[in-house]
Structure 1
Amino acid sequence: MKRLLLIFFLVTCYSYSQEEHAWIYFKDKPNVEAALNNPSTILSSKAIQRKSLRGTPIDERDIPVNEAYISTIKTQENISVKAKSKWMNCVHVIGSLEAISNLSNLGFVSEIEFANKNINSRASVENKKLENKLETNIDFNYGLALNQTKMLSTDYLHENDYTGEGVTIAVMDGGFANVNTIGAFDRLKLNGKLLGGFDFTNRSGNYSNPELSNHGTLVLSNMAGFIENNFVGTAPDAAYYLFITEIGPTETPVEETYWVEAAERADSLGVDLINTSLGYTLFDNPDYSYAPEDMDGKTAFISRGANIATEKGLLIVTSAGNRGEENYFNIISAPADANVLSVGGVDRNRNYVTFSSRGPSADGRVKPDVAAQGLEIVAIDQFNNLVQASGTSFASPILAGSVASFWQADPSLSNLEVMQLVKAASSLFNTPNNRLGYGIPDFRNALSDLLESNQDSGELFLYQNPVVNQLKFNNSTDQTYNITLFDMLGQVILQKDQVQNEIDLSGFSKGIYIAMFEQNNSRQSFLIIKK
């Protein structure tokens, strides 16, 4: 037995000695001052509007990586550049240990971080059983999505016309097989809400390749799917970008970098919310694996990226993981350990399901944050069939879509404010635990708390934004407002004086406008989305 173990050890070492993964960090970025003075050169107009609306600063991290540095690294022998991160100002490379180490001789390289924990002089991690992140238990029992939606009172949001309109969601996953062809997403495409996508793993725009995983298709359906009289996702009127960052058959650190790169793309496009039903703990090469004590929200590369995404104003919703029944690594994975809204799983009767990864985080924070149905949920597969599936991979998008529909009620809320409102409206807010966190959110209560808070504050608050016909606003005084409506070029297209609490916009085309409210020599402006 010892001889066999020795042979296995030698074979393993030989297999992994040929190449290493590493992040190469750069010292600086080009044209920083010019880019910050003219942010439209580095961000989309929607991204700039979102950041302005919620007070999110634009800083040096928004500036792209120096392409000249990347080109130089690509010319180095035995080095392959796989991905890049502007937030981290680095590239992810694969190459021999010697070749990667030699990159430190380049004058613009500030640091090299190996994924191999032994090279970085960190404790090695025992190679426990690997989890298939995309594994789901599916059978073809047809059913409706009523229970998983009603559990969160998301149906109440929909009844009040909060369906995710005006909110943009990016979905990070391993594949979106057939999303461009099956009927469940016809409504999404007809309304121009499928904005596009990208396969970061293959550098391809073919994100709906039928040969790739269907996991993202199932996940997307929980938010955006629609089959008349049979299925409605939790955010059927949100807009979506679809990004492939996961390589299903393998588990390597470059997938973390693909995720961060996709998050940066999402931020630059003006995305509001990211759903990611992925998690990282153990890798094919055990030297790259994380230990439970690394789940502290600041060790894993993907978690560091998720924290920056949150600082940039994005709301990250992520699955807690499916390791709850394991002895070694049963706590939440990365990036669920970061400053994100991590989602655990319950059954249809609101009971904890044992496969759902538990908390707290390694540094003692409440995790998961909230919970939603994750056992025997209903989704739509790549053949347009209603199927049953299980995993926190599905609790996450059910919750993410609900958050998007809720956020529509007040788009001026910051991501952190939305997260806090969702937690505060959850069933265990005063007594959180390590299985369900703050519990199961009730979005009826969250909406009521939001509307009452805005009314009690006496602040001007818009209802139903995006607007169909009538722009309604609260007015806690008997005084009226003078309202001026501008288009995005700053031209005045409407002026109304002495308006009490609503204004008719039925004659205007779809688009984004700026409404200025004036009263007693004070003025407030809001972005208005007309649908």
Structure 2
Amino acid sequence: MNAIYCFLFLIISPIILAQSNTDKHAHNLHLVELTDKSSSAFSVFLPQEYLSPRALERRENQGISIDLLDIPVSLSYLKLVDKLAPVQGKSKWLNAVAVHTESKKVLKEIEALPFVKTVQPLGKFRKAKPGKMYSKRPEIDSSKHQESYYGLAETQITMLGGEKLHQLGLTGKGVQVAIVDGGFRNIYRMTVFDSLFLQQRILGTQDFVDGDDFVYESSTHGTSVLSIMAAKQAHLMVGTAPDASYYLFKTEDTRGEFRAEEFYWTLALEYADSVGVDLVNSSMGYTQFRDESMSYQYKDLDGKSTLISKVATIASAKGILIVNAAGNTGHKDWHYLAAPADVAEVLTVAAVQQDSSRAEFSSWGPTADGRIKPDVAALGKNAAYASIITYDVGYSDGTSYACPMIAGMVAALKQAFPRAHNTTLKTAIFNSATQTNQADSSLGYGIPNFFQAYLSLVDSSVFINQLGSVDHPQRIVDNSIHVYVEASKKAPIELTVYNLFGKQLHYHKEELQANIINKVSLYNFRNYREGVYVLKIKTNGKTHWVELVH
């Protein structure tokens, strides 16, 4: 009898196992798209229930209304789906949830629900091991210090005119930036980030891959990106936005490339929107995946077709300025941009060498629908970043490093013009760049000069450099004129306003400070009649005459 049972077991077991395997899906994370939000408990008329005051202020500043995309996913729908398979994340912009299951039977049951529109595979969900914290810190080594305040990051700052904005106090203070990346190992024990922690300018952390708030793991890529923006160790390394405040989001699963990472990126952008972030740095992009059936074709890179590009378009419409790396395949047959760098509203960044030519690896366009991309460029060949092991600076290549250089300078501009529309800021940046009149799909508008972009946005401005050359990009005066003087030594400056009959209307004199850019302003032009006036500027033994139109 026992022999018969053993015989039957040997026959039946493979059959059961085969049936089990046929029910098993190749992926265990799936996107469930819902049909509507009709049963949602939230309303567009009470946005304070799901958006922070800062998020609402950003919308108000940019003239953006609340719509159905802002309404959270229906809780009743979510509960019904969760009964069949555990929900791993929910997206209000996609009106979708991600579920964890390998069962084809369960997926069919979910697909049969009356409020489910589609079910699509996203890839693998893999719970990571708990992260560890380390206490050892590298000792300060003053032999690494440079004469320049920016240390070994000086070249990448000055290439963008960033040091001039910093001299005006525009260092990103008050601007909130989200960095989405693959991990931020070691930042809590790196000296260049001490001010971030001491001044409590890390506003929040979230790991959307593992579902917790520990992001100091998995990768050093985010650490390097953060250092290019936020480092603040004088004479070793100072970043492009050393006084901005930061959210650190982990969205990249370093164990394998699947579309799930696009979904994690979606969750991060929605969270960034809800807390009121101004700016996002995304040094990542997606085209090819481990499962080739998920990979995108060139025709998909039209700014509308990929999952991540759809989300980037929505985030931009909510008033978030996204700065994204172009990609690093420019030296390959597949030289195209990586999504979401193909989105029209995204500020896409290419990489250049120190001679301002395109770095060989920097991806280039155009997009599938024929638009010029990338938009601008920054140093990405031998770019400086803070070492995670020693008190030092390392060098590496990639549009991943050019991207935060631009993002940090955008934060400085946002500090100066907090109510300016993102389109206004981008236009000023494009107009300041080296290829503004001959943009191409290699470097876009070229390398921007953020100080010139700043001057173009102020009421009216005149700039006098150390050599005494005068640049006045904006001669139309509303109520004020601002004279910026790059002074190497202390000296007086005299400003005199005349009408066209030679009558003196105003005189002002003050002392310029050495080794900074001085800002000297005249106000109350609204007291004058409309017309043409002349401004006389006398400093450092030179006299300059500037025509003003009021």
TM-score (norm 1): 0.76
What is the Cα deviation at residue 374 of structure 1?
A: 0.4
What is the Cα deviation at residue 476 of structure 1?
A: 3.3
Query: Is the 2:319–2:422 Cα contact (8 Å) retained in structure 1?
Result: yes
What is the Cα deviation at residue 398 of structure 1?
A: 0.6
Q: Does 1:193 align with 2:201?
A: yes
Residue in 1 aligned with 2:478?
Answer: 458
Query: Is the 1:214–1:381 Cα contact (8 Å) retained in structure 2?
Result: no
Residue in 1 aligned with 2:244?
Answer: 238
Distance 1:22 1:202 in 2: 16
Match of 1:432 among 433, 439, 444: 439
What is the Cα deviation at residue 44 of structure 1?
A: 1.0
Residue in 1 aligned with 2:94?
Answer: 88
Q: Does 1:168 align with 2:147?
A: no
Distance 1:476 1:450 in 2: 18
Q: Classify 1:26/1:478 alpha carbon distance in 2 versus 1 (closer, same or farther; 3 Å).
A: same
What is the Cα deviation at residue 70 of structure 1?
A: 2.2
What is the Cα deviation at residue 343 of structure 1?
A: 0.3
Secondary structure class of the residue paired with 1:35? coil
Distance 1:242 1:473 in 2: 41
Report the AA paired with residue 289 of structure 1.
S
Query: Is the 1:19–1:96 Cα contact (8 Å) retained in structure 2?
Result: no
Match of 1:259 among 265, 271, 274: 265
Query: Is the 2:192–2:231 Cα contact (8 Å) retained in structure 1?
Result: yes
CA displacement 1:186-239 (0-9 Å, x = unmatched): 112222211121111111111123xx2011010000000111222110001111
Q: Which moved more, 1:80-89 or 1:310-319?
A: 80-89
Distance 2:432 2:351 in 1: 17
Match of 1:154 among 162, 166, 188: 162
Q: Classify 1:80/1:361 alpha carbon distance in 2 versus 1 (closer, same or farther; 3 Å).
A: farther
Query: Is the 2:40–2:75 Cα contact (8 Å) retained in structure 1?
Result: no
Distance 1:217 1:247 in 2: 15
What is the Cα deviation at residue 322 of structure 1?
A: 0.3
Percent of matched pairs sharing the same residue:
38
Q: Does 1:51 align with 2:41?
A: no
Query: Is the 2:42–2:72 Cα contact (8 Å) retained in structure 1?
Result: no
Q: Does 1:336 align with 2:379?
A: no
What is the Cα deviation at residue 40 of structure 1?
A: 1.4
Distance 2:122 2:244 in 1: 37
Secondary structure class of the residue paired with 1:196? strand
Q: Classify 1:402/1:245 alpha carbon distance in 2 versus 1 (closer, same or farther; 3 Å).
A: same
What is the Cα deviation at residue 115 of structure 1?
A: 5.5
Q: Which moved more, 1:83-92 or 1:393-402?
A: 83-92
Distance 1:86 1:457 in 2: 45
Distance 1:301 1:455 in 2: 45
Match of 1:205 among 202, 209, 213: 213
What is the Cα deviation at residue 456 of structure 1?
A: 3.1
What is the Cα deviation at residue 17 of structure 1?
A: 5.3
Matches within 5 A, 1:429-508: 429-452=436-459, 456=476, 458=478, 475-478=524-527
Q: Does 1:325 align with 2:374?
A: no
Query: Is the 1:320–1:356 Cα contact (8 Å) retained in structure 2?
Result: yes
Match of 2:81 among 73, 85, 92: 73
Residue in 1 aligned with 2:117?
Answer: 110
Match of 1:23 among 19, 25, 31: 31
Matches within 5 A, 1:28-39: 28-29=36-37, 35-39=43-47
Secondary structure class of the residue paired with 2:44? helix
CA displacement 1:438-495 (0-9 Å, x = unmatched): 11101121011111469836379999xxxxxx9x99543129xxxxxxxxxxxxxxxx
Query: Is the 1:82–1:254 Cα contact (8 Å) retained in structure 2?
Result: no
What is the Cα deviation at residue 68 of structure 1?
A: 2.9
Q: Classify 1:434/1:34 alpha carbon distance in 2 versus 1 (closer, same or farther; 3 Å).
A: closer
Q: Classify 1:17/1:203 alpha carbon distance in 2 versus 1 (closer, same or farther; 3 Å).
A: closer
Secondary structure class of the residue paired with 1:234? coil
Query: Is the 1:20–1:97 Cα contact (8 Å) retained in structure 2?
Result: no
Find the structure with the greater CA-based Rg.
2
Query: Is the 2:153–2:384 Cα contact (8 Å) retained in structure 1?
Result: yes
Query: Is the 1:315–1:416 Cα contact (8 Å) retained in structure 2?
Result: no
CA displacement 1:410-447 (0-9 Å, x = unmatched): 11111222122211211112111121011110112101
Query: Is the 1:245–1:258 Cα contact (8 Å) retained in structure 2?
Result: yes
Q: Does 1:389 align with 2:396?
A: yes
Residue in 1 aligned with 2:408?
Answer: 401
Q: Classify 1:456/1:96 alpha carbon distance in 2 versus 1 (closer, same or farther; 3 Å).
A: farther
Structure 2: state its 5+ residue gaps: 1-20, 124-142, 145-150, 461-473, 484-518, 529-550
What is the Cα deviation at residue 27 of structure 1?
A: 2.4
Q: Classify 1:109/1:348 alpha carbon distance in 2 versus 1 (closer, same or farther; 3 Å).
A: same
Secondary structure class of the residue paired with 2:525? coil
Matches within 5 A, 1:504-523: none
Secondary structure class of the residue paired with 2:205? strand
Query: Is the 1:410–1:462 Cα contact (8 Å) retained in structure 2?
Result: no
Q: Which moved more, 1:224-233 or 1:250-259?
A: 224-233
Distance 1:23 1:193 in 2: 34
Secondary structure class of the residue paired with 2:152? coil
Equivalenced residues, count: 433
Instruction: Answer 1 or 2: higher relative contact order, Cα 8 Å, separation at least 6.
Output: 1
Query: Is the 1:153–1:443 Cα contact (8 Å) retained in structure 2?
Result: yes
Match of 1:376 among 372, 379, 382: 382
Secondary structure class of the residue paired with 1:111? strand
What is the Cα deviation at residue 51 of structure 1?
A: 1.6
Structure 1: state its 5+ residue gaps: 1-12, 117-140, 464-469, 480-531
Distance 2:231 2:113 in 1: 50
Residue in 2 aligned with 1:292?
Answer: 298
Query: Is the 1:21–1:253 Cα contact (8 Å) retained in structure 2?
Result: no
Report the AA paired with residue 476 of structure 2.
D
Distance 2:367 2:181 in 1: 23
Q: Does 1:308 align with 2:334?
A: no
What is the Cα deviation at residue 67 of structure 1?
A: 2.9
TM-score (norm 2): 0.74
Residue in 2 aligned with 1:133?
Answer: none
Residue in 2 aligned with 1:40?
Answer: 48
Query: Is the 1:267–1:309 Cα contact (8 Å) retained in structure 2?
Result: yes
Query: Is the 1:372–1:395 Cα contact (8 Å) retained in structure 2?
Result: yes
Distance 2:86 2:44 in 1: 31
